[in-house]
Chains A and B, each alone.
Chain A
């Protein structure tokens, strides 16, 4: 059987970055949006290490802010470097998608 989560893992980073690029957001909101888009297995525990990694590479940054629910919440936002990284991801992904589609369609 194909390990779906393993297959998704590589692309999840770019998808998370795209969501963060739209507006500053927090962990659970990112997970909810990923699930809406079809990443049903996504959990905060899955995406948190990726957020740590993106922050380490200075692709995103974060700040604790008040939340309407009560406790302070960590909000993530994209950096200048992140915007460049996202453009690169979209370009590479389109190339990979094109190649994989061609292989699967036998063209």
Chain B
């Protein structure tokens, strides 16, 4: 399997960021959460986060802080970073969407299928599946497109809650429709639940594999940031 450069960099960033003063962390989070996969690819976003954490570290050693380093206009800095970055990667957006789609389908159908029907041998409504796919699409767009835009406009945590609950309200009726045997009582509209579970699970794994492969491709040719950062630990 491919190592996921984004996950490794994120873990490294999380470790380094632990010591940071809350105000500095808030500024960095605000910038990073405003980037979004539709504007900056995930690998570059983690490299940018590492750079910002580095700036905060240096500022702290000079008895300064991120507010002084960035200036008052965080939105302008974020906009400049987005404008000057390599931008989004369309393969990443598609593969991430597929991960959302199959991941949500697998999780929702297995969890609620078991809790409502209490057996492996339940049937899933096809129309409900389409509805679930539509909801997963909306959830993906809300989380990855709308939320970063709201964040950039200063919505902060309120933007997160708004996105989360709007997404949930869309997904909620869909899973019920997908697993409910009472929904449109036409036998032709039902397919075995285990069949959907198997397909969605497999497709999730396939999209995850290609997602990692694509991230690796994005990282290729760039400086080996993770390698640079972890030299000491490997020595």
Expressed in whole angstroms, the Cα–Cα distance for A50 and B83 within the complex equals 10
Expressed in whole angstroms, the Cα–Cα distance for A63 and B226 within the complex equals 11
- B132 to chain A: closest CB distance in Å? 39
B contacts with A, residue count (CB < 8 A): 27
Q: Is the CB of B81 within 8 A of A72?
A: no
Expressed in whole angstroms, the Cα–Cα distance for A48 and B84 within the complex equals 10
Expressed in whole angstroms, the Cα–Cα distance for A44 and B62 within the complex equals 13
Query: For B202, what are the chain A residues with a Cβ–Cβ distance below 8 Å?
Result: none
Query: For A50, what are the chain B residues with a Cβ–Cβ distance below 8 Å?
Result: 84
Q: Is the CB of A52 within 8 A of B81?
A: yes
Can you sample 16 A-B contacts with CB below 8 Å? A27-B55, A27-B58, A28-B55, A43-B68, A45-B69, A45-B70, A49-B77, A49-B80, A52-B48, A56-B84, A56-B85, A61-B223, A62-B223, A64-B229, A70-B61, A72-B229
Interface residues of A (CB under 8 A from B): 27-28, 43-46, 48-50, 52-53, 56, 61-65, 69-74
Instruction: Contacts A28-B62, A44-B69 known; list 15 others, CB within 8 Å.
Output: A43-B68, A43-B69, A43-B70, A45-B77, A48-B51, A48-B77, A49-B77, A49-B83, A49-B84, A69-B61, A70-B57, A71-B54, A71-B57, A72-B229, A74-B50
Q: What 4 A-B pairs have minimum CB-CB distances, sorted nearest first?
A: A49-B80, A45-B70, A53-B84, A64-B228
